[in-house]
Structures are given as structure tokens and as C-alpha cells.
Structure 1
Amino acid sequence: MTQLKNDLLLRALRKETVERPPVWMMRQAGRYLPDYIKLRDKYDFFTRVQTPELATAITLQPVDQVGVDAAIIFSDILVIPQAMGLEVLMEEGKGPSLPKTIKTKADIDALITTGAEESLSYVMNALSLTKKELNGRVPLIGFAGAPWTILCYMIEGKGSKTWDKAKQFAYTQTELAHALLQKITTITIDYLKAQVKAGADTVQVFDSWAGSLSPADFKIFAQPYLLQIADALKDDAPVILFPKGSWYALKELSESSAAGVGIDWCVSPQMARELTQNKITLQGNFDPAKLLAPIPDIKKAVKEMIDAFGIQNYIANLGHGITPNVPVDHAKAFVDAVKEYGS
């Protein structure tokens, strides 16, 4: 095993004392980087995801060009529906679509829940190759979509602002919804364990659409499955949970097996600390749209953000993924501002 030269992220997740917070950005490997766009113009989305050499090259770009403290493997949360036997299409600029959605018990029964390590071996190969190429420079993050978020796509068949169909399914066919959530959870646990085996130092679970649920419904349809994943992985690697928009769950999530919890910009650092009582490492929560502000404003806002969170038990990040229109030097200014903090 290569010794990590920069293990700030892992130290922050273990709640060890750090000299400054680690920094990385969700969706850092991708659409705002000119070198990524060159590859995008040449290869379609799933070719980029399924070709380990391409996925590795894309994963390394932000480490080389923006100077982040961690690499996150270039992949997609919808590889899980694919591994479960559903077709997923990805059109540039349009987002994902699943031609066949889940409607009945028979549809759920037909889903595959085993063999993720084999069916998604290209992700494992990309992780192993990236790990080798990183040569200990920074930790490598693996990830998966959370069961509720994956259910949303499986029922809805495409992106949505309100997820009405998914919620209707959950509220009217509750038993089937739980059967589906459990199947997704089972394969996701295997998938994340395989990622750790392949070289991921930590894993993040993206519950992008958790915020569509009320606090009471989050407790029924999202939280139990997030906790199940955190419990199953706790001895393998630190787990970061990111249920976007679900600040109301922070107290309970801070008492889980997870090492970190990501928050968006709709909750203040003070409130997040109060709810979690410093029991868990917090990650976030810079509004990606703010990266379009003038560079001096970005640097000032980053400093204020770290002042509010404090250096310890904290990972500087965005409150959601970086958007395609962010200039690279603005992304770099965000990273640099964290690195310069307190110096």
C-alpha cells in the first residue's frame, strides 16, 4: 500500500486534529473543465464511465488542475439500476432516462440484487487504476446513489422537480416501495464494499432527492436505508451521507455509524453544529452559484464559511455539484481560499 502524502480528508473524517480543513467539490471531475469537454465531445457518457482509462483520466483532472484534497471516481449513480437489469439512457444536455419504469411487484421481483462487483467491474477497474495513478497524492472517494434517490429514477423514469410519481408510489404502495428500497440497499452495500476493496478510501452516498420528502416521510423512506448502508460499511471505510435538503435529519444522522454528513446551503453552519453537537464531521456547504461571483468575493465568502464551521471536524465543499458554467479559475480560487485559511 502506498502511503498517503495528503490524508487531510481521512483525518477530518476520523475527527483527528487538522491544520486546515480538507477541500473537494462535488462533480469536480467533469463538465466545467475544458479537458473534460474534449473527452465528452469524443466519447458518449457511458463510454466514459465504462472505460477505466477514460474514467481515471477524468477523475485525475481536478486533482491536477484545481488542486483538491481528494479525488472522486468519475461514474454515475445510475449504474445501480443498470446492474439491477434496467436500461438507462443518457443524452447530453437532457439528463438520464429509464425507458422501462418500475410499476408492479413483478417488476420489483425481476430486479437483480447480486453480482454488483462483476456487473460493475469497470467501476472497480477504474478505482484500481486511479489509485495506482494517484500514487498516494490524495485519498480516493467512491460513491453510490442513496436508495430513495434511485427509487425516484426507477419509478419516474427521468429527472423531476417534484417526484410526484415516486412519492405517489411510496404513499399508495408502501409495501412495494419498501421492497424496492431494500433491494436497492442490498446491492448498493455490496457495490460500495467492492469499491473499498478496489481502492476507495472513503465512500459517499448521494441522496440528491431526499429533500422532496417531509421530515416524517424521510424517516420512513430514506433514513432507515441510509443508516443500513452506514452500518454495513462502518468497518470497511468512513461513510459520508449527503441527503440534500434534509437538514431536519442532522441530529439523528449524527448519531449513526456515518463518519460525515454533507449539507447544502439552506442550513447555516451554526445550526448544523448545534443539531449535530460536533458528533460528526460536517461537509459543505458553499452555494455553487456563488462560484460565479468575482474571485475576491469567493475568497471572502470561503473564509467566512470556515470561520462559521471551525477548522476541526469539517470538510470544505459545495452544497451541491459544481455547475458547468463555473470558470476553472473560480473553482481554483475556492480551493485556494481553503488552503490559505489561517496561513
Structure 2
Amino acid sequence: MLMIASALVSAFASAGPACDAAYEPPVPGIMPGSTKPSILLGQDIDWPPYAYIAMPPEGELSVAGFGHDVAKGLSEVCDIDVEVTQADWAGCWNSNKIGADAKAGVYHGCMTYTHTYGARNRWMDFSHAILQDNKPGGILTRLVDGVPLVKPNSDLSGKKVVDVDGWAPTADTLDIEPNVCTGQSFTGYTFVAPSGAALNYTNANDQALATLLSGAADVMWVYADHAFTYSCTDRDVDPTWDCELWSGFGTEFAYIQTGIYGHALNGTTLTMSKKGSKLSTIVNPCIDAFLKTESYYNICSKHELTGSCYQNEFFGKIVTEPKPWSLATSEHPEDNCAAGYCSCAA
């Protein structure tokens, strides 16, 4: 018996260092790295150029996007393996809290999330950014005979607001944003959730816009560039959203607020993961090194994001015209609602 006990003690002792040898947090059903970190990251496919399906010749219906390309590029500067899988955004972040898949550790992290103030920062850990803060918030409203239903200088008192569930800018950050026309805080508004016919859509952005257009909401809190992103006119996209619904930009609905940046702590990050995962400690040195490479420049150029990327020696002199969604509402010309971006005087 004494010999057996000694053998068991020896076995447990020799097994102890195995925990120290782990290169990444464990993910059920995924082979861990044996000599280097092996990371699995998730992305959805409905947010070009950040996350989409690669059609031939770019790819064979594979997951693709700016985030994917940067993630795969990390092996150029680090001894690391990164795989990217399709995932539902709702599995990463949903209803203003961590998504079920991220909480359960189905993958190590989710890609291309904006590091925002508020709930996200309480639930999640974020890596360093791979793009500058290029995702301003905006507020959409319906147009009635070309005139916005809710005026740009409104403080939203008594108005119903619909948010895009699972997406930034998150609902709670509207509390800390000023009206860019008046400088005053938004107050006295009520958030409403999509319901009824809006739920016939499966895309969260479609659901929110359908809620606005139905009259169930007065305004929609959303990225200021999202109406452009979901435009299917004169753009090479493979939409997973309803193109017809978004075709009313500038005729049925328009922005009354753009260029709102206060919701973000940082720009678009490579990874968002469960609090305490320490995934960022693995990928951050690799991100920092990769952002200095020519490959990073090539990825930025491929996805037409050079103006939002972190400049390095390979960029040369980049001169870009400001996009309309990056401008504050006060900077838009008058009578601009038909272009989708109303001025403060509208």
C-alpha cells in the first residue's frame, strides 16, 4: 500500500507542470498548441470589409475580412497559430452582456469589436486596436417629405430609440454622448426593442431599421457609416442583409447626428474575449509587431482602409477626404438630408 501511495504522489507531482505548459486558455474540443499558442477566433459574415464571405477568386466561400487577414498575418511576426471560424455576433455579445458562446468558451475570442465604454468594458477583455477610432456613432430618423421627423437639435426627450442589439455603439453609451449640434446631453428617451414584423428579419441591423421605418421607434442609435456599409448600390458586396430595406437612405430615412466618437475607448480591436481570459497578453505583442509591417499596409490597402489604419513606413503620404459619417452634423451643408446626412439646420 505504501508503494502504491508513493506512486500516486509521484504521478500527481509529475502531472503538475502540465498546467504551466499551456500556451493559451483551453477551448473544449480544440487541440491546444503543443509548442506555441493555437488561437481560435470567431467572426460573423455580414459586415464588409471587416467580416464577410470571400467569393471566388478571393476565396472559396470562406470567412474573410480585414480582421481575418490581420489575424492570419500574426504568424509572420510571432510563433503562433491562428484559426478563424464563422460565428454569430450574438454569441459574442448580446443584450448588452457577454454572449453565450463567448461565455462558454466556444472560441478564444471574437474579432473586430469596438472597445466601448459601459457594459462591454465590464464584461469583456480587449486586445490592442488594429484600426484607429474610425467608427463614430450616429442617429437615424425617418424623413417626411424630405424633412427629418426628429430634428437634429432635439435632446430626444419623449422619443423612442431603437438600438442594434449586439452591435456598437451600445445602448448605454447614448447616456454619455452630447448632441453635436447643441452640446447638450440626450435625456428623457426610452429604448424600445424590435417586435412584430421587424422580427421577420434575422439581421439585427435590419430588425432595428424596420422598427424605425414602421414608426415603432422615432430614432435609431447606430454606427454613422452603417447606411453606407449596407448600401448595395454600385458596390461589390455579397449581402446578408436586406438591400431593399436600406435603399431608402436619403429618401425614407437619414442621419440627424453623425461624427459622435465619445462611446469608444479605442478603435476596432482584433480580439474581444471573456473577462480574465488573458488572451490579450498573447496577441498584443504580435499585433504591435505586425502593425509595423508591409503586410499590414497591404491588408489596409486591399480593404480600402488606409486612412483608418495605423501608419507605418510603408504607407507613404496618405491624403484622404473626410467621409460624411466622420463629420459632425454641424459640418454638413444645408439641405443635405437627400444625401442621407442632415445638417443642424434641417
Which has the greater radius of gyration?
2
Q: Which category of TM-score, normalised to the shorter sequence, fits these structures?
A: under 0.3
- TM-score of the pair, normalised by structure 2: 0.28
